[in-house]
Structure 1
Amino acid sequence: MSEILKIKAIQEVVNGVTVYTGWVEGKKVRDVAKIVHITRDGEYIHGYQRSELPKHIDSITDYVESKNSTILANLVIGFNNTVTFEPIMPGSEFGYLYVPYDPEKPSSELPGAIVDGQQRSGGVKNSHHDSYPLPVSIFISENEADYVQQFLILNLGKPLTTVQLNALALYGDIYKPPALAEKAFPLSLCEELGFRNPESPLFGLIKSNGNKDGIIAESSITEFVVNVRRQILSTLDVRVYQELDDKTKQEFVQILINFWQAVAEVFSDDWNNKSRDMKRTYITHGTSVIGFSYLCRHMLRVFQTPSKNIGNESVLSSELPSCKFFVKELSLIKEHCHFSKGYWTLGLARNPDVQDLPYSRRWNDFQNTTSEKQLFSTNILRLYEIQKGWREDYPIYID
Structure 2
Amino acid sequence: MADRYDIRVPALQVRQGDRHIFCFGIDGKRLLDFTTVSRVRRSSEGSLDGYQRPEVLSHIRAIRRYVESPEAMLPNAIVLALDGRVRFEPSRQFSAVDYSIPGELVIPVDETIDEADKPGLLVDGQQRVAAIRDADIDAFPVAVVAFIADGQDEQRSQFILVNNTKPLPKGLIHELLPDSAGYLPPKYARRKLPAEVMIRLNIDTDSPFCGAIATPTSPDGRIKDNSVLKMIENSLYDGALYQYRNPEDGTGDIEQMVLHLKIFWKLIAEMWPIEWTLPPRKSRLTHGVGIQSLGYVMDMLTDNHTADQLPGSGLERRLDGLQDVTAWTAGTWDLGPDDQRRWNSLQNTPTDIKLLTKVLAAAVRVRKPIS
Partners in 2 of 1:228 and 1:146 — Cα distance?
Answer: 29
Aligned to 2:98: none
With the length of structure 2 as denominator, give the TM-score of the two structures: 0.83
Residue of 249, 256, 264 corresponding to 1:251: 256
Q: 1:128 to 1:273 in 2, by over 3 A?
A: closer
Residue of 319, 326, 329 corresponding to 1:330: 319
Residue of 115, 119, 138 corresponding to 2:123: 115
Partners in 2 of 1:49 and 1:22 — Cα distance?
Answer: 23
Residue of 323, 329, 344 corresponding to 2:333: 344
Paired residues of 1:261 and 1:323 also in contact (CA < 8 A): no
Secondary structure at the aligned position of 1:188 is classed as: helix
Deviation, structure 1 residue 385: 3.8
Paired residues of 2:27 and 2:139 also in contact (CA < 8 A): yes
Deviation, structure 1 residue 28: 1.1
Aligned to 1:219: 226
Q: Is 1:380 matched with 2:360?
A: yes
Gaps of at least 5 residues in structure 2 are 96-100
1:1-399 aligned at under 5 Å gives the runs 1-2=2-3, 3-41=5-43, 42-88=45-91, 93-101=101-109, 106-141=114-149, 143-196=151-204, 198-229=205-236, 230-233=238-241, 236=243, 240=247, 242=249, 245-246=252-253, 249-265=254-270, 267=271, 270-272=272-274, 274-277=276-279, 282-300=284-302, 304=304, 320-322=309-311, 324-349=313-338, 359-386=339-366
Identity, % of aligned positions: 25
Q: Which has the larger radius of gyration?
A: 1
Paired residues of 1:4 and 1:101 also in contact (CA < 8 A): yes
Partners in 1 of 2:353 and 2:149 — Cα distance?
Answer: 46
Paired residues of 2:245 and 2:252 also in contact (CA < 8 A): no
Gaps of at least 5 residues in structure 1 are 305-313, 350-358, 390-399
RMSD across aligned positions (CA)? 3.3
With the length of structure 1 as denominator, give the TM-score of the two structures: 0.77
**Cα displacement string for residues 117-136 of structure 1 (whole angstroms, at most 9, x for unaligned residues):** 22322333333332222121
Q: 1:114 to 1:15 in 2, by over 3 A?
A: same
Code of the aligned partner of 1:115 = V
Aligned residues: 360
Q: 1:94 to 1:290 in 2, by over 3 A?
A: closer
Q: 1:55 to 1:238 in 2, by over 3 A?
A: closer
Q: 1:85 to 1:158 in 2, by over 3 A?
A: same
Partners in 2 of 1:147 and 1:319 — Cα distance?
Answer: 37
Partners in 1 of 2:18 and 2:246 — Cα distance?
Answer: 37
